[in-house]
Structure 1
Amino acid sequence: MANREDLAIIRAARAGQPQAQLTLGKRYLTGGNGLPQSLQTAMHWLERAARADQAEAWSLIGAHIPFELATQAADVVSFSTWYERAFEQGVLEAGLVFAKLVLAHPALQQIDGLHGKAIRMLESAARSGTAEAQWLLAQHNNQGGADAVKPARADDTGGSGFEAPAAAQAWAERAAEGGIAQAQYLLADAAWENADRAGYLQRALPLARALRAQYAGQVAQLHAPSPALGRQLGAGNLLLLSRCCDALLQSGDHDPDEIQHFWELAAYADDKAAQFALGLWFARMRADGVRSNLIAGSANYKKAVRWLTLAGEGGLAEAWYALSRIFLKPEFSQRSLNDAQYHLERAAEMGHCAAQLECGIGAWRSRRDAVSNDVRAVYWLQKAAAQNNLEAIALLAKITDAPAPAPWAEPARQQLTRAIVNAYPFLAARIELAALFGLTQAEALLIDINEADQGHCLVVDIRAQYARSKRRLIPIAGTEQRAALHRIGRLFEDVDCSASGVEGNYRQRLYRLKTVLPQALPDADAEDEAALID
Structure 2
Amino acid sequence: MASREFLKILSSARLGDVLAQQKLAEAYLTGAFKTPIQPSNALIWLEKSFLATQTHNSVGSSSEITEPPHIFSLMAKLPLAETFSSPSFQFGWESFWKIAQSENDPSNVLSAKWQLANLLVNPRNQELQSQLMHWFTKMRSSFRDPFFHQDFHALQTLAKQYLKELAEGDSVYAAQAKELLIQLQPKNEVLSSLWSTWLEQGNEEALLQAAELGLTKAKLTLGLRLAQLDGSSDTKSNASLKKAAYWLELAAKDGDRDAWFALGEIYRRPQFSGYNAQESDRCFDKAADLGHPDAQYRKGANLWRKREKIEEKVRGLQASYWIWQAQQQGVAEAKTLLSKILASHPDPQKNDWYDLARFAEQALNHHAEHKLSEDWLLLCHRIIVANQFHFSKAELLLSEVGQLQHEHCVVVDIRWELPKILPRLIQIETIQQRRALLAAGKVFASAGQDVEGNLRQRRYRFDQVTNWLTDTFARSATPQKDPEPA
Q: Counterparts in 2 of 1:217-296, with a 5 A limit?
A: 230-242=187-199, 244-245=201-202, 259=204, 261-282=205-226, 284-286=227-229, 293=233
- What's 1:411 paired with? 356
Contact 2:237 2:271 in 1 (8 A): no
User: 2:472 matched to 1:514?
Assistant: no
Contact 1:328 1:336 in 2 (8 A): yes
User: 2:414 matched to 1:462?
Assistant: yes
Distance 1:486 1:313, change over 3 A: farther
Amino acid corresponding to residue 395 of structure 1 in structure 2: L
Residues of 2 paired with 1:318 and 1:480: CA distance?
A: 36
Contact 1:275 1:307 in 2 (8 A): yes
Q: Counterparts in 2 of 1:24-423, with a 5 A limit?
A: 230-242=187-199, 244-245=201-202, 259=204, 261-282=205-226, 284-286=227-229, 293=233, 297-299=237-239, 301-332=241-272, 334-368=274-308, 369-371=310-312, 372=314, 374-403=316-345, 404-405=347-348, 406-415=351-360, 416=363, 418=367, 419=370, 421-423=372-374
User: 2:428 matched to 1:479?
Assistant: no
Unmatched runs of 5 consecutive residues or more in structure 1: 1-223, 249-258, 522-534
Amino acid corresponding to residue 304 of structure 2 in structure 1: W
Q: Deviations over 1:255-310 (max 9, x none)?
A: xxxx4x4432121233222201222344x3415xx9x7355643355543332133
Amino acid corresponding to residue 272 of structure 1 in structure 2: T
Residues of 2 paired with 1:451 and 1:328: CA distance?
A: 39
Q: Deviations over 1:71-96 (max 9, x none)?
A: xxxxxxxxxxxxxxxxxxxxxxxxxx
- What's 1:78 paired with? none
Residues of 1 paired with 2:236 and 2:462: CA distance?
A: 73
- What's 2:151 paired with? none
If the length of structure 2 is used for normalisation, what is the TM-score?
0.50
Contact 2:194 2:206 in 1 (8 A): no
Residues of 2 paired with 1:240 and 1:303: CA distance?
A: 22
Amino acid corresponding to residue 341 of structure 2 in structure 1: I
- What's 1:192 paired with? none
Amino acid corresponding to residue 280 of structure 2 in structure 1: A
Contact 1:408 1:441 in 2 (8 A): no
Residues of 1 paired with 2:266 and 2:234: CA distance?
A: 18
Contact 2:356 2:383 in 1 (8 A): no
Contact 1:353 1:389 in 2 (8 A): yes
Amino acid corresponding to residue 392 of structure 2 in structure 1: T
Residues of 1 paired with 2:263 and 2:200: CA distance?
A: 23
Contact 2:238 2:272 in 1 (8 A): no
- What's 1:210 paired with? none
Distance 1:469 1:362, change over 3 A: same
Three-state SS of the structure 2 residue aligned to 1:367 is coil
Distance 1:304 1:478, change over 3 A: same
If the length of structure 1 is used for normalisation, what is the TM-score?
0.46
User: 2:443 matched to 1:503?
Assistant: no
Amino acid corresponding to residue 279 of structure 1 in structure 2: G
Offset of 1:433 from its aligned partner? Answer: 0.9
CA-based RMSD of the aligned residues comes to 3.4
Distance 1:467 1:496, change over 3 A: farther
Residues of 2 paired with 1:229 and 1:509: CA distance?
A: 67
Distance 1:366 1:449, change over 3 A: farther
Distance 1:296 1:333, change over 3 A: closer
Distance 1:272 1:334, change over 3 A: same
Distance 1:360 1:238, change over 3 A: same
Amino acid corresponding to residue 355 of structure 2 in structure 1: E
Residues of 1 paired with 2:428 and 2:292: CA distance?
A: 22
Residues of 1 paired with 2:371 and 2:339: CA distance?
A: 37
Contact 1:408 1:520 in 2 (8 A): no
Contact 2:357 2:380 in 1 (8 A): no
Amino acid corresponding to residue 353 of structure 2 in structure 1: W
Residues of 2 paired with 1:294 and 1:326: CA distance?
A: 14
Three-state SS of the structure 2 residue aligned to 1:485 is helix
Offset of 1:234 from its aligned partner? Answer: 4.2
Distance 1:421 1:264, change over 3 A: farther
- What's 2:89 paired with? none
Contact 1:242 1:262 in 2 (8 A): no
Amino acid corresponding to residue 454 of structure 1 in structure 2: H
Distance 1:309 1:488, change over 3 A: farther
Residues of 1 paired with 2:394 and 2:433: CA distance?
A: 20
Residues of 1 paired with 2:197 and 2:388: CA distance?
A: 55
Amino acid corresponding to residue 359 of structure 1 in structure 2: K
Amino acid corresponding to residue 237 of structure 1 in structure 2: L
Aligned residue pairs, count: 279
Distance 1:432 1:242, change over 3 A: same
1:444 paired residue among 392, 396, 400: 396
Offset of 1:379 from its aligned partner? Answer: 1.7
Contact 1:281 1:304 in 2 (8 A): yes
Offset of 1:333 from its aligned partner? Answer: 5.2
Residues of 1 paired with 2:338 and 2:185: CA distance?
A: 47
> Of the two, which has the highest radius of gyration?
1
Distance 1:308 1:494, change over 3 A: farther
Three-state SS of the structure 2 residue aligned to 1:351 is coil
Residues of 1 paired with 2:192 and 2:315: CA distance?
A: 44
Residues of 2 paired with 1:335 and 1:450: CA distance?
A: 46
Residues of 2 paired with 1:414 and 1:515: CA distance?
A: 14
Three-state SS of the structure 2 residue aligned to 1:453 is coil
Residues of 2 paired with 1:228 and 1:443: CA distance?
A: 55
Three-state SS of the structure 1 residue aligned to 2:458 is helix
Offset of 1:242 from its aligned partner? Answer: 4.6
Residues of 1 paired with 2:454 and 2:378: CA distance?
A: 14
Higher relative contact order (CA 8 A, sep 6+): 2
Amino acid corresponding to residue 290 of structure 2 in structure 1: M
Identity score, percent: 31
